[in-house]
Structure 1
């Protein structure tokens, strides 16, 4: 009897909720799939069951319904550049959606990345900002160059015949991981030392990305795993070995600094802990906050740049005309390649700069829509007055492939950035997001991209070597028809893995 009564109330409640969401909800006038209006699990279905095809689905829906679609009971997605800038670039009255960020940052709940309160986030970012200013980046440029030199040595010494190949996607991830750890903590993770770039930290990051959607929609699984004893974690999830090693390293460094802050004066250069341990006019950060901030910096600092380098190298090698233009410009400006060329000097090279901007347009950054919540005082978004409390978002993919700003958007064309006025394309280049919550490490990322591409293209001669194994379920001859973003979305562009092969001849690395 009680079971039947419970079932009756459950079915009745669901029916009433469905009627409300379909016919009386403030967003009921916006077009979109009926299932999306009924449940937030619509997103989870395309993220998990359909293998991360959410953006491809949104593209279909926008073609069917127009520039604004209802993709959840309380969520709107836009395909309108004006709306993008209203939400992110100028959207000071919108806040991050806690449910989304709490899930993605479940392993680092006290880091500034997931703070929804703009003022709290601003205070934490204010502590970190000095280390990521352009001036600070230039002063620590040598730390980046040292790691690039190390990568070149590894490639030269271990992959120096035409029969040897290396996954540059993995090599770049190792490089950017070592750069960000050395830059932020004055202690490198040394992932470049692992044979065939098989360091546990890199393996752990790769596994974490494959489980990102499970974490997004079922964060309690990650919470359970992280709170389990280390031995149990390794038994259940051996891919967490890298995470545990990194955690132990951070704990050792942070505990030592908390116990004896004077040791900060003994490190090689300024680190994030110089700014976080003794914040002015604020309470000292807890050990957990220090740990979480460190983790998120490593994750964010290694992924976007590594992904961009992978995509950029692919396109440079896919199109010989682009490769030759880059080589010629670098050879003329950088006569003695055995002596480093500075970041500021590389910035002055017009074709290299255009190439990097086009790389960033293709590499996207976070392709998944980044949700914001409309506030009571939020102005119109895309010309529409959106009800307060509504979740709004727009994937950067739609901004970067807007044909009105980027004609023939699926063609990789650095020349589009060589026109006299690039103010509008630069405004719409949002790989590092826009507005008050844009990427903290923007200046560092630009420096890395110039130095990495400059050194790789000037000091190595590479050849693209695509095999069936590199692209998994994609056919090798269709490799150029797809790219896989950092969050796993498959959209037109470039394959996610490629391999390089070369031989050495004295100081040059020649392609065969």
Structure 2
């Protein structure tokens, strides 16, 4: 036998060689997986050590898990469904007035520091990326991240929501309140129970549609006050909290770990988001349809179906005959550049005005009405004062006279304090400004938060904070108005603050001058107090609504 010849048959050698290569490939793949896992684990360990010991915010306290990972925030907001706002109160009691609520952001519970963050002159304040996009990447002023672009968009809207503009439209507002009172009158005569959540949501939605678009949505006249629409909006808010809380660092431009190449993923997803939402959540289909209807109703069907050439839109719309000026008049006559006049941008601006402007005021009215009706002494003092400017139960009051009534002001201020419409933490980011808190440096670009709910329930400022006491606003030696921040402050404060105040004055006066509510079936801890934070506060899941019996005042 030739020495170079193998003693093994060729077929055996080929089988052995194939088997050996297969094992080698599997080993290589296994080694690659192990290597990737080891690299990933090493990065996680490095990231945790960096966040705990070398991060620019390392001097600020907080739970170890919150300082090391976003999982702490996600757990309370996503797993426990909107509980982080309430957990923050406990954390501040343990760690002090400033904490790291996640690795890269700070939360403050110092009422005197509020004006340092939320004021007109404090640098170029921006809205953090994941907060600006909480309702999706839609180009409305409320969701604008950058300071300069926000200033341009907000500037075009400011004149329409001025005090003068509100006063001009008071008669239209009163017409919708008269309709609500007519529904209450019928309910009192036929012993029909009324859910305050939906009746106030209906009237504020009608007012907002009238005010902004000169359209009459007639929601107050629907037998159920348009209940399904508001349940859809509740679902929308739940999804919005999910978006805000789950903003992963890799997709968060404010995070030092933000990767620009991931931007396309976010925008590709959101480009088909509307279609996905219609499939995953049927309630969102109605919300998206509402968004289109606002533009169609506000501009008219002819313009809505057009190719949207802005010069033609201006020509047609500004010569239309409608009841009164609308927000679209101000936008079309403004100096906004052409790219700010697109169909989708005006549509989303309209949608944000209606959803943000109606739901928050309705929330305050619902809870405030309960507190007034549940406190006979407060109700009688309020009624006595209202009679001085409203001699008859059906009188239409003068808004400026209502604004001068001290007890009515105290009642509304206490209602705003106790029923803070936005329970979620408000966020700001200063790209160029260094903040200082108690001698500690906060680097530029740090996202900082404060929560109005914690300020409004601060026992040092508002003793017995859980009790409804309007007199505190009349007797206090402290400047309490400084600590009342339901509409925020600064260049990003609530756009519709003047309209909201007008609604509160007029609705409270016109309703409680004429009606009383039997709230015996309402349980405050279950139906009124905020138990979860979904941007706005919502009661416990077993709540049966704020269902009341309507009673009519005799004189």
Considering the TM-score relative to the shorter chain, is it more than 0.5? yes
Aligned positions of 1:255-334 closer than 5 A: 256=303, 258=310, 259-261=312-314, 262-265=316-319, 266-280=321-335, 282-283=337-338, 285-334=341-390
Q: CA separation in 1, counterparts of 2:187 and 2:277?
A: 34
Structure 1 residues 196 and 90: alpha-carbon distance in aligned structure 2, compared to 1, 3 A threshold: same
Q: CA deviation at 1:488?
A: 5.1
Query: Aligned residue for 1:501?
Result: 549
Q: Distance in 1 between matches of 2:527 and 2:187?
A: 28
Classify 1:221/1:45 alpha carbon distance in 2 versus 1 (closer, same or farther; 3 Å). farther
Deviations along 1:440-494, whole A, 9 cap, x unmatched? 1111110000001001101212211425xxxxxxxx47448833566255799xx
TM-score with structure 2 setting the length: 0.82
Q: Secondary structure at the match of 1:120?
A: helix
- Tell me by how many angstroms 1:247 deviates: 2.3
| More deviation, 250-259/336-345 | 250-259
TM-superposed deviation, 1:160: 3.3
Confirm whether residue 148 of structure 1 aligns to residue 177 of structure 2: yes
1:195 to 217, 220, 223: 223
Gaps spanning 5+ residues in structure 2: where?
1-30, 248-264, 305-309
1:75–1:392: 8 Å Cα contact kept in structure 2? yes
Q: Give the superposition deviation at 1:15.
A: 0.6
TM-score, normalising length: structure 1: 0.88
Secondary structure of the structure 2 residue equivalent to 1:411: coil
On the 8 A contact 1:315/1:412 being kept in 2, the answer is yes
Hey, what does 2:294 align to over in structure 1? 250
Q: How does 1:155-174 map to 2 (within 5 A)?
A: 155-158=184-187, 160-162=189-191, 164-174=192-202
Contact conserved, 2:132 with 2:143, CA < 8 A, in 1? Answer: yes
Equivalents in 2 of 1:264, 1:27: separation in Å?
A: 53
Offset at residue 321 of structure 1 (A): 0.6
| Partner in structure 1 of residue 168 of structure 2 | 139
Rounded Cα–Cα distance in structure 1 between residues aligned with 2:524 and 2:200: 24
Shift of 1:427: 1.5
- Greater CA deviation, 151-160 or 6-15? 151-160
Q: 1:198 to 1:481 in 2, by over 3 A?
A: closer
Specify the SS of the correspondent of 1:197.
Answer: coil
C-alpha separation between the residues in 1 aligned to 2:219 and 2:527? 29
Structure 1, 355-364 or 244-253: larger mean CA deviation: 244-253
1:85-234 equivalences in 2 (<5 Å) = 85-89=115-119, 92-93=122-123, 95-106=125-136, 109-158=138-187, 160-162=189-191, 164-217=192-245, 227=272, 234=278
Distance in 1 (alpha carbons) for counterparts of 2:185 and 2:489:
39
What is the aligned partner in structure 1 of residue 87 from structure 2? 57
Say whether the 8 Å CA contact 2:201–2:358 is kept in structure 1: yes
Q: How does 1:20-35 map to 2 (within 5 A)?
A: 20-35=50-65
Residue 346 of structure 1: how far off its partner (Å): 1.0
In the other structure, the counterpart of 1:470 is none
What are the Cα deviations for residues 6-30 of structure 1, in whole angstroms up to 9, with x where unaligned? 1111001111111111111111121
How far apart in 2 are the matches of 1:490 and 1:54? Answer: 14
The 2-side partners of 1:428 and 1:355 are apart by: 16
Q: Which one has a bigger Cα radius of gyration?
A: 2
Structure 1: stretches of 5+ with no match in the other structure? 468-475
2:529 to 482, 488, 508: 482
Q: Is the 8 A contact 2:527 2:545 kept in 1?
A: no
| Residues 260/281 of structure 1: CA separation in 2 closer, same or farther (3 Å cut) | closer
Alpha-carbon separation, structure 2, partners of 1:457 and 1:365: 21
Deviations 1:365-387 (A, max 9, x none): 32211122243333424553212
Match of 2:472 among 372, 396, 416: 416
Distance change in 2, residues 1:285/1:146 (3 Å): same
- Residue 192 and residue 479 in structure 1: after superposition, are their counterparts in 2 closer, same or farther (change >3 A)? same
